[in-house]
Structure 1
Amino acid sequence: MTDAATGYRIVSPELTVKAMRDSGYKNTAYALAELIDNSIDAEAHLVEVFACEERPKPGESHVRPRIETIAVLDNGKGMDGDTLRRALKFGDGRGGDSKRIGRFGMGLPNSSMSQCRRVGVWSWTNGAGNALYTYLSLDEILNGLDDVPEPVHQRVPDEWQQLSQGLGEAGTLVVWSDLERVMWYGAAATLRNTEELIGRVYRHYLNPGEGSGHRSVEIRLVPVRDGAIIEGERPVRPNDPLYLTAKTCTPPPFADKPMFMPFNMGDGDNPGVVHMPITYDGQTHNVIIRASIARPEARQSDVSGHPWPANANKNVEPGQQLWGKHAKRNIGVSLVRQGRELDLDTSWAIGYDPVERWWGVEVDFPRELDAAFGVTNNKQTATNFSALAHFDWEAEAEPGETFKAFKDRLNERGDPRLPLIDLAFYLQERLLPSMRRQLRQQRVGARTNKRHEDEAANKANDAINRRREEGRLGQTDKLDQETEPEQKRQEQVDALTSRHHIDKQTAESLVDEDLASDIRVRWISSFQDSPAFFSIDLMAGMLQVIFNSNHPLHRELIAVLEDVPDHAEADALRERLSRAANTFKLLLFSWARMEDEIPGEKQRAKISEARQDWGRYARDFIDGEDDDE
């Protein structure tokens, strides 16, 4: 090629490769996933990932073994010379097979060059001794190499044949050497940090459900030191962020049984599943939404028949148990394309709220919707979908504009968000709020300490008992005298389950504990379609106070004080206290203004008397003193 010709190139090969190296793989595990994609597309049923380290040589500065090479070997169908050469070109996609995970033709060279300076590839269709070999070298590209070297016959090196447990008559081996961007130091650490992500990305292939249409694939992680396999070899276990799969990497007691249950949506034959048609470019495609929430036993240690492990501290919140910490690492909406997870999108979660770890949502879409979702070429995220996580159509709507009219206007403008608007609205406005409400109700009565350690409940109970002894009986006391014990129990269970949507196991556990301890007051939060910020249930022997979680006072006062993030900094705690104090002042200001706006003197006097009466009751409950009589 002449100097004149090279001077007018649209792009420079060496600069292009440099830019591709920096295109953004989150870590080594995501880069390895690109190679596993290729293996699955090649119909492999075994993929082996080798992380190879060597002991330091005399005179070297480091003292610990350091990872030198990473290799991925599969028993797929292999490649001929032309396909192998094209596989190492940037942006040479291999056809439009709708069942393939890959599409952009970037995976092998892009992921490899992001982690190393040299990648070698062997591929064979008639025995590993007849393999074809070619490579990419960053140093050679920087020195002017334009073309992928023509493949040559070269048998797969003996070291890889000896390490493999499933070397097939056909297959492919990719070897990264001259590593310089691998995040972890040793072989075992590299694979340990890789397993959880790889298990989540390929969970539908590691454990394909009946009727899923996915082939079963085993992924083997193998740490190697000085050419020999060392301790830590293991198959990748599925990591299901919906926690509906048995036999996963979730810590006990949920390693062999589901930790979550399907959320109450869809139909009886396929619970927890909703199908949503999405139209793009004139074609309609099916998107599958799956949802799950934690089983009560994941969050409560006293669920009958489901004890926590003996080594679990029952005085520690479930989110701090090993399985709770595992769930914290899986917060977000799992975006799945062709059965392969692109991203666990945390944008849809409320970061400070501990309840977020106890739900799971999966959005599964076909590759024909790549452009609609905004799938990136490294298959790590979908930009259009992520951008809608905090979408507020009312903030963008014109005055008086309906949701349909708003969408029609987006359609006229050719807004790229339009195909996903209904999906985003469903997730934001219907599904996630419903799941959060049910999860909060699930924890009613669950406590890290025993009930007698609940200071507010104790003091309220003492005040009620004191007033009863003084002969000042309430409606709950009178009903208690007239009601049989079993009827009283059933009334309380029914109130919790039917009116406040608490699951039956939790309700029964809560009521039985309160009856055994002669507790006569109960505080819960519940979603109420009412402008009141709290309500009361007067039942036999039980005064139940319900704080309306649908009222902004719950968000700005109760949640601020109770839903405190783990390990919150002092400044953040001070900000929360200040926010709660301001909210309480606004609450009193709102009462004062209510009195101010009452037109009649008699009615205003009654409200004033009610305020004074409430003050006397408050003094009795807080200080144990009542100067009413």
Structure 2
Amino acid sequence: MEGSMTSKYSIVTSDLTVKALQDSGYKSTAHAIAELIDNGIEARAELVELFVVESIDRPSQRARHRVEKIAVLDNGSGMDPETLRQSLRFGAGTRQHRKGIGRFGVGLPNSSISQCDRVDVWSWTNGPDNALHTYLDLAELRRGLEEVPEPKLDGLPDEWQALTEGLGPTGTLVQWTQLERVQWRGAEATLANTENLIGRIYRRKITQGTRIKLVPVRGWAELPGVRDTRPNDPLYLTAPSSTPAPFDTKPMFRPVGGGNTGEIGVQRFMVESVDGKEYPVLVRSSISSDAARRHDIEGEEWPDDVSPSLKPGDTPWGKHAAKNLGISLIRADRELDLDTGWTNSYNPVERWWGVEIDFPPALDEVFGVTNNKQSATIFSALAHFNWREEAAGLSWEEFREALREEGDARLPLIEIVYHIREKLLGRLRADLEDQTRGTGTSRKRHEQVENKAEEAVKRRRAETKPSLTDTLAEQVSPEVSQQQQLESLVETHKYSPADAQRIIEETISQGKHTRLLTSRNPDSPAFFNVEFIPGLLQVALNMDHPVYSDLIAVLDKDFDGVSREELIDRLVGAASAFKLLLLSWARFEDEQPERPRARAKQMRQDWGRIASEFLGADDEDDEDE
């Protein structure tokens, strides 16, 4: 009677325990498989094989073959009976040290039970025929199983021995069956979706020589598509890699930034851990090469089967980069997470930069590493950290001291976050914006404005006396004008000679007398600058002025893939910026002495009259028709 009462009133039922184990927080089947690969790599395996086995039968003629087994086999060191049994205990694994990629000993049982109802493990240290075998079965757990079954001598099944390439005197096989929660149906779909992730997670290990082989199987026969996983580097500095041609054999990005390590694009920070010691954290950064985003780079033209009219993001390599968006967190040479919280997913340019943070396991508590090695919660929570809002008027140094006095858990990472948010990402985005100045969507929109302005210029030429640029054009040859344009574009506005020449040729061929372009001029208080070149009125928008970022850039950005909500936010923000621009002019007049104020008023009225002609150019053309 006493025993039944204990069972009746137990705090946690076996069913609830099983449900909690199943819901252990793995983001996908691929992430769960990665835990099994971890075990092989920790066991110093040279080859880890991932088998996805389809059933021979299928429910109907049109239905696809269903996956019935997933297995990972490695030729690592294998396990003795005690280690094997411990490996299937929740929270009692054998690799809880802080030097390797493991953490807390939860990987094998948690990842397995999150995907299947039964996991079997064979491990051998004296040949596969002498393997030891044990298992976990959820049905038995629900019936009250309290101990991992004692490992028994049970040779590795012949079917697996026939399939594997790297069978050796030591190794381990983990087999999942009763696959109730696997995301994908067929073998190839499962491998394809897993390949991208594990190629990224283990990119360093693969580059260092570890092979991760992918094997689709039906029944016990290999299917076409057996292959080794290629590295997938979100910084795109690794070659060869899984990036589509031509960037499968050469890096698609280049390191960027001075750094403090003697290596381009690498910044080192020393971070204090909970043990009171300091450990190095490396921040690496890269941006796209010109050839990845432009088809006209001499000697690096796009492949013949890729149209030069495609937007860079629509190329095969651009689509590949879109799947690697975010900051990559590397722990013990294994990717922990690709954190997208630091990116603007609506901006297609975000795919063209890469940032990697490399830290040791000794800093797990500082970064907030989770038990299943899928995220760093403390670091991720800082993605939208705004120190100025929290500082409430304190200087940066005062704010850091306040955090230190309060014992704030974020303090060790504040310097890194400040570097990334305040310095690094802004520079990367600015460099990428400069990379395609004079090309793409923004250039086309400039051309539309230039065309409309040209109509207004033609009318004013007929109605007013010659302008300064008209007069200068009468005094010099067209060749002199073109030389002045080239010097302006290359020397003042930092366009490449090839881009500058192309822009000049376009202006001449279209018979234009106005040109709108973008330029960087951080030392100028003006949000645009005017140049009077013989026969050409050139206006350079200052990309370093808030008017550009708050008004022009938000409207010139590509609209593809942008939600209705963001478009509304852009329009509202641009309208506010324009109104503030008018109010700033009003304040300018307000601050002038009486006579300059009258002159400013006259200038405003004259500019308004000319603006009405430029903005109304299309309307007047319509009336003529």
**Residue in 2 aligned with 1:213?**
none
Task: Report whether the alignment pairs 1:343 with 2:337.
Answer: yes
Alpha-carbon deviation of 1:579?
4.4
Q: How many residues are aligned here?
A: 613
Alignment-mate amino acid for residue 381 of structure 2: A
Partner of 1:561: 555
Deviations 1:333-390 (A, max 9, x none): 0011001111110111123222211100000000000000000001000000001111
State which drifts further: 181-190 or 484-493.
484-493
Residue 52 of structure 1 aligns with which residue? 53
Contact 1:337–1:365, Cα closer than 8 Å, also in 2: yes
Determine the structure 1 residue equivalent to 2:623.
none
Find 1:404's aligned residue among 397, 402, 406.
Answer: 397
Contact 2:441 2:558 (8 Å CA) reproduced: no
**Equivalence for 1:79:** 79
TM-score using structure 2 length: 0.90
2:270 aligns with: 277
Matched, 1:423 2:416: yes
Match of 1:124 in 2: 124
The residue number in structure 2 matching 1:177 is: 177
Aligned match of 2:367: 373
CA distance in 2, matches of 1:452, 1:88: 62
Q: Could you tell me whether the CA contact under 8 Å between 1:476 and 1:543 is conserved in 2?
A: no
Summarize the alignment of residues 540-551 of structure 1 with structure 2, pairs less than 5 Å apart: 543-551=537-545
Tell me by how many angstroms 1:252 deviates: 2.1
Report the equivalent of 1:383.
Answer: 377
**Superposition pairs of residues 171-320 of structure 1, within 5 angstroms:** 171-208=171-208, 216-266=209-259, 269-281=262-274, 282-320=276-314
1:42-97 C-alpha deviation (Å, 9 max, x unpaired) = 0011111011111336x779832111110001111111111111111111142555
CA distance in 2, matches of 1:538, 1:134: 83
What's 1:43 paired with? 44
* Secondary structure of 1:266's aligned partner: coil
- When residues 411 and 269 of structure 1 are mapped into structure 2, their CA distance, relative to the original with a 3 A threshold, is closer
Distance 1:486 1:530 in 2: 25
Return the alpha-carbon distance in structure 1 between the equivalents of residues 357 and 139 of structure 2. 42
Spell out the pairing of 1:125-164 with structure 2 (5 A cutoff).
Answer: 125-164=125-164
Q: CA deviation at 1:327?
A: 1.1
Given that residues 48 and 75 in structure 2 are in contact (C-alpha distance below 8 angstroms), is that contact kept between their aligned partners in structure 1?
yes
CA distance 1:50–1:311, change in 2 (3 Å): same
Letter in 1 for 2:73: L
- Equivalent residue number for residue 437 of structure 1: 430
Cα drift, residue 487 of structure 1: 6.0
Q: 1:434 to 1:568 in 2, by over 3 A?
A: closer
Query: Does the 8 Å contact 2:550/2:573 carry over to 1?
Result: yes
Distance 2:284 2:503 in 1: 30
Within 1, Cα distance between the matches of 2:354 and 2:324? 8
In structure 2, relative to structure 1, the CA distance for the partners of 1:492 and 1:527 (3 Å cut) is closer
Q: Secondary structure of the equivalent of 1:179?
A: coil
Aligned residues of 2:49 and 2:214 also touching (Cα < 8 A): yes
On the 8 A contact 1:476/1:538 being kept in 2, the answer is no
Q: Does 1:109 align with 2:109?
A: yes
In 2, Cα distance between the equivalents of 1:452 and 1:95? 58
Q: Corresponding residue for 2:24?
A: 23
Separation in structure 2 between the aligned mates of residue 264 and residue 516 of structure 1, nearest angstrom: 39
Provide closer, same or farther for how the CA distance between residues 186 and 29 of structure 1 changes in structure 2, counting only shifts above 3 A. same
| 3-state SS of 1:435 partner | helix
Q: Is the 8 A contact 2:493 2:520 kept in 1?
A: no
1:233 is displaced (CA, Å) by 1.8
Structure 1 170/13 Cα, relative in aligned 2: closer, same or farther at 3 Å? farther
More displaced stretch, 236-245 vs 257-266: 257-266
CA contact (8 A) 1:442 1:506 kept: no
Determine the structure 2 residue equivalent to 1:211.
none
Task: Please tell me whether the aligned partners of residues 442 and 503 of structure 1 are also in contact (alpha carbons under 8 angstroms).
Answer: no
1:440-480, Cα deviation, whole Å (9 max, x unpaired): 11110112699699311333356557767876243597388
Q: 1:375 to 1:623 in 2, by over 3 A?
A: same
Following superposition, the deviation at residue 13 of structure 1 comes to 6.0
Counterparts of 1:12 and 1:503, CA distance in 2: 70
| Higher mean C-alpha displacement, 556-565 vs 217-226 | 556-565
For residue 404 of structure 1, report the CA deviation from its aligned partner: 1.9
Judged with a 3 Å threshold, the aligned counterparts in structure 2 of structure 1 residues 624 and 203 are, in CA distance, closer, same or farther, namely same
Supply the AA of the counterpart residue of 1:44.
A
2:96 and 2:104 in contact (8 A); partners too: no
Which residue identity does 1:234 align to in structure 2?
A: R
Could you say if the C-alpha distance between residues 39 and 539 of structure 1 is closer, same or farther in structure 2, counting changes exceeding 3 Å? Answer: farther
Letter in 2 for 1:431: L
Superposed CA deviations along residues 249-292 of structure 1, whole A, max 9, x for unmatched, are 11222222111111132269521111111112311100111100
Distance 1:184 1:365, change over 3 A: same
CA distance in 2, matches of 1:279, 1:352: 36
Pair 466,166 (structure 1): closer, same or farther in 2 beyond 3 Å: farther
One-letter amino acid matched to 1:315: S
1:494 is aligned, of 491, 494, 504, to: 491
When normalised by structure 1's length, the TM-score is 0.89
User: Is the CA contact 2:469–2:536 (under 8 Å) kept in the aligned structure 1?
Assistant: no
Aligned twin of 1:212: none
2:610 is aligned with 1:617: yes
Pick aligned residue for 2:448 from 423, 445, 455: 455
Amino acid in the other structure paired with 2:21: M
Distance 1:507 1:237 in 2: 40
Paired residue secondary structure (2:399): helix
Which residue does the alignment assign to 1:333? 327
CA distance in 1, matches of 2:308, 2:214: 35
CA–CA distance in structure 2, aligned partners of residues 503 and 367 of structure 1 = 45
Aligned-partner residue type, residue 86 of structure 2: R
Q: 1:260 to 1:90 in 2, by over 3 A?
A: same
Q: Distance in 1 between matches of 2:5 and 2:444?
A: 84
Letter aligned with residue 489 of structure 1: L
Query: Any conservation in 2 of the 1:314–1:448 contact (CA below 8 Å)?
Result: no
Instruction: Give the secondary structure class of the aligned counterpart of 1:454.
Output: helix
Whole-angstrom distance in 1 between the partners of 2:284 and 2:470:
44
Preserved contact between residue 437 and residue 527 of structure 1 (Cα < 8 Å): no
Once superposed, what is the RMSD of the aligned Cα atoms?
Answer: 3.1
> What is the Cα deviation at residue 24 of structure 1?
1.0
Counterpart of 2:173 in structure 1: which amino acid? Answer: L
Q: Aligned with 1:270: secondary structure?
A: coil
The 3 A distance-change label for structure 1 pair 506 and 356 is farther
**1:543-581 residue CA offsets vs partner (Å, 9 max, x unmatched):** 443333344433432233222442335565455445434
Distance 1:7 1:504 in 2: 82
Report Cα offsets for 1:99-154 as digits up to 9, x if no partner.
31002100000000000000000011111111110001111111111111110011
Tell whether the 8 Å contact from 2:330 to 2:356 is kept in structure 1 after alignment.
yes
Unmatched runs of 5 consecutive residues or more in structure 1: 209-215
Are positions 1:526 and 2:520 aligned together? yes
Q: Give the Å deviation of 1:488.
A: 4.7
For residues 625 and 201 of structure 1, the distance between their equivalents in structure 2, rounded to whole angstroms, comes to: 55
Where do 5+ consecutive residues of structure 2 fail to align?
621-625
Instruction: Name the CA distance, whole Å, in 2 between partners of 1:434 and 1:116.
Output: 46
Deviates more, 1:580-589 or 1:248-257: 580-589
Moved more, 449-458 or 224-233: 449-458
Q: Supply the distance in 1 between the matched residues of 2:50 and 2:247 (Cα, whole angstroms).
A: 27
Say if 1:619 and 1:626, in contact at 8 Å, map to a contact too. no
From the superposition, tell whether residues 51 and 219 of structure 1 become closer, same or farther in structure 2 (CA, over 3 Å): same
Give the whole-Å Cα distance in 1 for the aligned partners of 2:245 and 2:414: 39
